[in-house]
């Protein structure tokens, strides 16, 4: 029997998982040259009913394109494959059935991957703009998502709603890649209001919380970011070192902003020693070391998109530095000049007493220092009780 | 046809035979590469449009032939008539070659709009000058889009457009909505900036540093704008204008308006225009921070000192303080976190606080500003 016959059998027996394998590029069948046909339409039409005939034919044309390393063509073929689940059609016609969800997962995943590869290929030739193909892929995925989200008829076990989180995660990956994070919002709302949200597989939930956590970071909602990213980190599978490291890259800056510094042991375990100097600098109030550390690993931090957030640690660093000054002078009426001297020792460029006042005013406003500045006496007067509240207690 | 020639005429996937759909795709691809329109109109306004607008009495007063202004149908002065922007509509063919201006004509049109209209010392009021130039520049961009023009002329046009819109955002600040809509100006400015920065991705561009800096200043506080610049090659990132813009951005993120305003004094006039809409909010923020940081009934803060760090005259400083509930007494203010009010005072407008920028403008002509002083 040919592969087309085997697909027919999988469809007839509603074996979604097996059917998905036959249409997925993760499965070894795609490397078989005998399957890589440029025009398999006739063969497919003989054996399969519409729309499976078109789907499988497009899939086989795709294997041909991939074998030729033509990812632009592969992407085009894959859009044909995904068309069918996305327009509802046969998938929506499976009323009260969701056996074909694995198929939807497999073909949408490949769509996103090919869109990525195709864009890379075009960019190398100097054509195409980053994000064009991914945006189109996202549109198709959104259609699939709507098919799943609007399934109100089936009972829980047979509902297509089980497909929602997988698709949302795929969409998140695209939106983050093309830097259109605002498009995540309606998806987050849809999942958060779903009664299935805690029942999806842990793997899917970990991925979901990772992206939502990163979005919260972007929105400067650090407490929320900490919650989500921590969940993601803790529930990540033990063997997925790479995933855990990826989550940590974003969790660490958030935790540092909330006053929790990582241990060197943790950093070494996950090969993230780039954060070691940053951590040391912030806890010591060492602005000089902080600037050096940020410059030294600039490329890494910029590539991960956390450089700007790490710069926010400067405020915490100022707070730690000034706290040291307070402890040194042992008085609650501190001359502003002392802070200026401290900043100059840290080789902060062109800072004057006016700026010192501004930095202190900001720290007071944010609740990091309890006190007030007297311009006339050129002093910072701090509260006799707990003038530098612990960082975790300040929002 | 020999196989070689066949293969050259049709991309490889077509020679594999079969698949009606594939052949159609080939033909579609071949057609689209031919159909990009190429303009042949050698005047600032296509002859057809000029005639139409003349007959319908729809010429702008800047386009009318001197001496015919009071005629029943004023005549068009061909050397002053410029193609206007027209909204795309179903059934309207905007791709006729005779109606489209090629790149060199578009650049000449822009020069005319800048030197003879925007920089004119005789055309008044400037709000009308602005509306005319805004519309005609939009039409220039439309021609560029239809013809898919890229390259040095495109960059030259966009650079001047950005400078014009930035200058206008300052020059017309405070004008009533019916004469100047800052939101619309902003939308077009952002579009042009995005397009220009996209052009800069390939090749070398003399003014790239200038515009990356302007984009950062205009979009103060935008993480996306900063991230974009951080990913640029070192030579651009480390250039003086970009470094200054980044430093101002950092001061903003660290919430240090004293530093921000001090660094802002180093900006040139156009950079000042780019930053200008953020200045009043920064000054307000400083007053908010000081209201909390200096909150004490027994302490007084000298107005002159406050005026210095705000880069404002002391009379305006006093006014700004009062508008925010800060007590002003003679030469002092008294800060109190309880009495600070966020409310935006109607009387106090940004336009009253333009001294910082006026000083920067000095002897610069409008022409200098828009074409870019060397």
| Separation in Å, CA A171 to CA A73, A151, A384 | 22, 19, 53
For residue B5, the number of C-alpha atoms closer than 13 Å in the C-beta half-sphere is: 2
Q: Is the pLDDT of residue A290 over 50?
A: yes
Does residue B30 carry a pLDDT above 50? no
**Once rounded to an integer, what is the mean pLDDT over residues B168-191?**
95
**In chain B, which residue's Cα lies nearest the Cα of A350?**
B259
Residue A94: band (very low, low, confident or very high) from pLDDT cuts 50, 70, 90: low
pLDDT for residue B6: 37
| Residue that the structure tokens 């296509």 belong to | B46
Residue B266 in 3-state DSSP?
coil
**Phi, psi angle pair for A112, to nearest 5°:** -65, -40
Chain A contacts in chain B segment 140-179 (CB below 8 A):
none
d(CA A369, CA A392): 13
> Looking at residue B282, what is its pLDDT?
95
Question: 3-class SS at A381?
Answer: strand
| Residues in CB range of A142: below 8 A, 6 or more apart | A171
Mean pLDDT of chain B: 88
Q: What count of CB pairs under 8 Å joins A to B?
A: 91
Q: Tell me the pLDDT band of B213, cut-offs 50, 70 and 90.
A: very high
Buried b / exposed e over A210-249, threshold 16 CB at 10 Å, is bbbbbbbbbeeebebbbbbbbbbbeebeeeeeebbebbbb
pLDDT in tens, A227-251: 999 999 999 988 889 999 999 999 9
Kindly identify which residue of chain B lies nearest to residue A70, measuring between CA atoms: B13
Identify all chain B residues contacting A132, using CB atoms and an 8 Å cutoff: none
Choose from A24-33, A136-145, B260-269 the range with maximum mean pLDDT: B260-269
* CA separation, residue B81 to residues B65, B78, B290, B370 (Å): 9, 5, 55, 21
Per-residue pLDDT for A313 more than 60?
Answer: yes
Average pLDDT on A103-121 reads: 91
The residue whose two tokens read 């979005």 is A215
- CA end-to-end span of chain A: 66
Is B363 an interface residue toward A (CB < 8 Å)? no
Residue A299 pLDDT: 87
Q: B19 to chain A: which residues are within 8 Å by CB?
A: 38-39, 41
No. of H helices and E strands in chain B? 17, 3
Helix (H) / strand (E) containing B34: helix B20-34
The yes-or-no verdict on residue A320 having pLDDT over 60 is yes
Q: How many CB atoms lie within 10 A of CB B255?
A: 22
Q: What is the mean pLDDT of residues B37-55?
A: 94
Contacts of A322 in chain B (CB under 8 A): none
Work out the percent of chain B whose per-residue pLDDT is above 90: 73
Q: What is the pLDDT of residue A46?
A: 80
Percent of chain A clearing pLDDT 70 (strictly above): 96
Distance of CA A96 to the CA centre of its chain: 33
How far is the alpha carbon of A354 from chain B, nearest alpha carbon, in Å?
7
What pLDDT is attached to residue A87? Answer: 67
The pLDDT, as a whole number, for residue B31 is 42
Q: Do you know the residue count of chain B?
A: 374
Q: Over the stretch B280-309, which tens digit does the pLDDT of each residue have?
A: 999 999 999 999 999 998 899 999 999 999
For B50-78, letters b (16+ CB in 10 Å) and e give: beebbeeeebbebbbbeeeeeeeebbbbe
Q: Residue B125, preceding bond cis, omega within 30 degrees? A: yes
List the one residue out of A223, A218, A163 whose CA is nearest residue A194: A163
Query: What's the distance, Cα to Cα, between the start and end of chain B in Å?
Result: 59
Task: With cut-offs at 50, 70 and 90, classify the pLDDT of residue A48.
Answer: confident
Identify whether the C-beta of residue B100 lies closer than 8 Å to the C-beta of residue B37. yes
What is the DSSP code (8-state) at residue B117? Answer: I
pLDDT of A61 above 90: no
Q: How far apart are CA B294 and CA B107, in angstroms?
A: 55
Which segments of B265-301 does DSSP mark as H helices, in order? 269-293
Q: How big is the CA angle at A41 (ends A87 and A4), to the nearest 5 degrees? A: 85
Complex-level ipTM: 0.84
Beta bridge partner(s), residue B328: B333
CA distances, B105 to each of B78, B142, B143 (Å): 14, 14, 11
Residue B32 has pLDDT above 50, yes or no: no
What is the structure's pLDDT at B19?
38
Res. A395: pLDDT tops 70: no
Give the distance, in angstroms, between the CA of residue A381 and the centroid of all CA atoms in the same chain.
44
The pLDDT, as a whole number, for residue B7 is 36
Residues 36-75 of A with CB under 8 A from B: 38-39, 41-42, 73
Of A24-38, B91-105, B351-365, where does the model show the most confidence? B91-105
pLDDT at B314 exceeding the cut of 60: yes
Average pLDDT over residues B63-87: 94
| A229 or A120, higher pLDDT | A229
Confidence (pTM): 0.82
The mean per-residue pLDDT over the stretch B344-351 comes to 70
Q: What are phi and psi of A150, to 5 degrees?
A: -90, 10
- A175: exposed, middle or buried (Cβ count in 10 Å: 0-12, 13-18, 19+): buried
A186-212: average pLDDT: 93
């Amino acid at each position: 029997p040919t592969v087309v016959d085997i697909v027919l059998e999988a469809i007839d027996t509603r074996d979604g998982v097996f059917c998905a394998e036959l249409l997925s590029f993760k499965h070894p069948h795609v490397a078989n040259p005998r399957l890589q046909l440029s025009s398999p339409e006739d063969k497919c039409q003989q054996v399969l009913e519409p729309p499976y005939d078109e789907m499988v034919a497009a899939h086989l044309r795709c294997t041909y394109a991939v074998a030729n390393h033509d990812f632009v063509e592969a992407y085009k073929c894959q859009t044909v494959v995904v068309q069918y689940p996305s327009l509802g059609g046969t998938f929506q016609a499976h009323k009260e059935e969701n056996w074909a969800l694995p198929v939807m997962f497999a073909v949408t995943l490949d769509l996103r991957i090919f869109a990525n590869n195709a864009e890379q290929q075009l960019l190398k030739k100097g054509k195409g703009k980053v994000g064009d193909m991914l945006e189109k892929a996202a549109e198709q995925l959104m259609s699939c998502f709507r098919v799943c989200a609007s399934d109100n008829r089936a009972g829980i076990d047979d509902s297509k709603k089980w497909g929602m989180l997988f698709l949302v995660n795929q969409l998140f990956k695209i939106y983050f890649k093309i830097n259109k994070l605002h498009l995540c919002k309606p998806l987050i709302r849809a999942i958060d209001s779903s009664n299935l949200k805690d029942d999806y597989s842990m793997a899917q939930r970990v991925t979901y919380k990772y992206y939502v956590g990163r979005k919260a970071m972007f929105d400067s909602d650090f407490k929320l970011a900490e919650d989500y990213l921590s969940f993601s980190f803790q529930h990540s599978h033990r063997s997925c070192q790479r995933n855990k490291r990826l989550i940590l890259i974003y969790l660490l800056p958030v935790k540092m902003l909330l006053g929790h510094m990582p241990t060197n042991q943790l950093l070494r375990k996950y090969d993230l020693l780039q954060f070691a100097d940053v951590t040391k600098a912030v806890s010591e109030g060492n602005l000089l070391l902080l600037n050096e550390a940020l410059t030294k690993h600039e490329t890494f931090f910029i590539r991960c998109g956390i450089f700007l957030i790490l710069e926010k640690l400067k405020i915490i660093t100022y707070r730690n530095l000034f706290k040291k000054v307070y402890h040194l002078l042992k008085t609650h009426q501190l001359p502003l000049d002392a802070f200026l001297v401290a900043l100059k020792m840290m080789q902060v460029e062109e800072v004057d007493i006016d700026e010192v006042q501004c930095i202190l005013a900001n720290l007071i406003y944010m609740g990091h220092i309890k006190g007030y500045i007297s311009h006339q006496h050129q002093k910072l007067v701090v509260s006799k009780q707990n003038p530098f509240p612990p960082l975790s207690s300040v929002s | 046809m020999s196989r070689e020639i066949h293969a050259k005429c049709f991309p490889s996937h077509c020679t594999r035979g079969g698949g009606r759909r594939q052949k159609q795709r080939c033909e579609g691809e071949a057609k689209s590469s031919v159909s990009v329109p190429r303009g042949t109109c050698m005047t600032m306004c296509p002859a057809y449009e000029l005639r139409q607008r003349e007959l319908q009495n729809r010429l702008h007063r800047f386009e009318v032939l001197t001496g015919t202004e009071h005629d029943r149908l004023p005549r068009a002065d061909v050397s002053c008539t410029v193609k206007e922007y027209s909204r795309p509509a179903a059934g309207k063919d905007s791709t006729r070659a005779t109606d489209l201006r090629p790149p060199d004509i578009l650049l000449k049109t822009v020069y005319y709009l800048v030197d003879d209209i925007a920089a004119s010392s005789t055309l008044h009021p400037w709000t009308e000058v602005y509306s005319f130039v805004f519309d005609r520049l939009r039409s220039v961009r439309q021609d560029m889009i239809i013809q898919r023009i890229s390259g040095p002329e495109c960059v030259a046009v966009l650079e001047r457009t950005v400078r014009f819109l930035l200058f206008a955002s300052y020059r017309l600040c405070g004008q009533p909505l019916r004469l100047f809509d800052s939101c619309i100006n902003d939308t077009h400015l952002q579009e042009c900036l995005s397009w220009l920065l996209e052009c800069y991705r390939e090749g070398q561009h003399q003014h790239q540093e200038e515009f990356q800096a302007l984009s950062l200043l205009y979009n103060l506080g935008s993480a996306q704008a900063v991230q974009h610049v951080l990913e640029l090659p070192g030579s651009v990132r480390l250039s003086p204008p970009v470094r200054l813009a980044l430093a101002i951005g950092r001061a903003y993120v660290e919430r240090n308006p004293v530093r921000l305003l001090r660094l802002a004094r180093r900006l040139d006039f156009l950079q000042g225009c780019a930053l200008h809409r953020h200045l009043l909010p920064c000054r307000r923020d400083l007053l908010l921070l000081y209201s909390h940081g200096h909150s004490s009934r027994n302490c007084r803060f000298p107005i002159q000192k406050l005026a210095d760090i705000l880069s404002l005259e002391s009379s305006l400083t006093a006014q700004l303080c009062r508008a925010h509930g800060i007590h002003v007494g003679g030469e002092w203010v008294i800060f109190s976190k309880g009495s600070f009010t966020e409310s935006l005072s109607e009387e106090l407008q940004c336009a009253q606080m333009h001294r910082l920028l006026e000083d920067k403008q000095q002897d610069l002509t409008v022409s200098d500003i828009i074409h870019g002083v060397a």
